[in-house]
C-alpha cells in the first residue's frame, strides 16, 4: 500500500494516490518459485487515465 497508496480493505485509493496516481482497480496473484520464494504479478487500472 505504500507505493500505490491503495486501501485493500475498502477497495479504494487514498486521496492523492500513489506514485502512479489513483488506482481504479487491481488484479493480482501470488506465486511460489521453484526455490520457495513468493512473488506477485499484478495489473493496475489507473483512474482518470487517458488511454485504456
For residue 46, the model assigns a pLDDT of 86
Looking at the domain assignment, is residue 18 inside a domain? yes
C-alpha cell at 6: 491503495
Return d(Cα 19, Cα 32) in angstroms, integer. 27
Question: Does residue 1 register a pLDDT over 60?
Answer: no
Domain that holds residue 37: 6-46
- The number of folded domains in the chain is 1
List, as one string, the DSSP characters of 27-43.
EEEEEE-TTS-EEEEEE
Looking at the domain assignment, is residue 51 inside a domain? no
Tens-place pLDDT, residues 6-51: 887 887 888 878 888 888 888 999 999 888 899 989 898 888 877 6
C-alpha cell at 4: 500505490
Looking at the domain assignment, is residue 21 inside a domain? yes
Amino acid at each position: 500500500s505504500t507505493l500505490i497508496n491503495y486501501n485493500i480493505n475498502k477497495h479504494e485509493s487514498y486521496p492523492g494516490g500513489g506514485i502512479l496516481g489513483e488506482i481504479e482497480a487491481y488484479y493480482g496473484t501470488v506465486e511460489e518459485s521453484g526455490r520457495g520464494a513468493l512473488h506477485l504479478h499484478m495489473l493496475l487500472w489507473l483512474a482518470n487515465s487517458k488511454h485504456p
